[in-house]
């Protein structure tokens, strides 16, 4: 059992017999004899082997170490594929949401433009002798002034964003 465990762990760590021998300060033939079950390392050497392998001595002495099988790798690969598909779907969903958000923003800007143009600045004819009317008139004028200066570049950016986020067929 020890011989099989040493060989399996050595291979899983990607070490050759020669590389392991160098790390343990023994000759390669000693490693070969251990792995063939022709000899057994002493207790001090078992501790050194466990340190090199970063594995407890009990694992070296315990049951056979399982090598990763092709089926295990296939299962991991299938799980990774599922995860990749989920990430791709999430990305597509975010893209669609952003696209429709931009379309909605474009519709809101155009609607506000239409309303402001249809109203034709009614606050210009108001009597500003009352403070409340003056405040509302100034607020309405400020909104209209800012909107007509900021909305066109925002609208252009939104339209560009709509084209950039559209789904390419």
| pLDDT single digits (tens) 24-42 | 999 999 999 989 988 888 8
Q: What is the mean pLDDT of residues 74-92?
A: 88
The answer, yes or no, to whether residue 70 has pLDDT greater than 80, is no
Residue 69 backbone phi and psi in degrees, to 5: -95, 165
**Closest to 99 measured CA to CA, from 169, 167, 165:** 165
Q: What is the dihedral of CA 33, 34, 40, 42, to 10 degrees?
A: 110
* CATH class label, 2-61: mainly alpha
Confirm if 103 and 162 have CB atoms less than 8 A apart. yes
- Per residue in 106-156, pLDDT (tens digit) is 999 999 999 999 988 888 888 889 999 999 999 999 999 999 999 999 999
The residue ranges of every structural domain in the chain are 2-61, 70-165
Radius of gyration of the chain (CA): 37
């Amino acid at each position: 059992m020890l011989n099989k465990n040493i060989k399996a762990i050595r291979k899983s760590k990607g070490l050759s017999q020669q590389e392991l021998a160098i790390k343990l300060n023994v000759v390669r033939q000693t490693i070969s004899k251990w792995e063939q079950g022709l000899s057994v390392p002493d207790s001090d050497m078992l501790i050194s082997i466990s340190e090199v392998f970063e594995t407890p001595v009990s694992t070296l002495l315990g049951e056979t170490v399982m090598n990763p099988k092709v089926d295990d790798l296939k299962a991991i690969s299938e799980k990774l594929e599922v995860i990749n598909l989920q990430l791709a779907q999430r990305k597509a969903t975010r893209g669609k949401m952003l696209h429709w958000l931009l379309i909605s923003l474009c519709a809101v800007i155009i609607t506000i433009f239409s309303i402001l143009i249809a109203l034709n600045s009614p606050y210009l004819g108001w009597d500003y002798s009352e403070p409340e009317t003056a405040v509302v008139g100034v607020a309405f004028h400020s909104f209209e002034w800012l909107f007509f200066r900021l909305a066109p570049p925002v609208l252009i950016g939104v339209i560009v964003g709509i084209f950039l986020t559209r789904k390419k067929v």
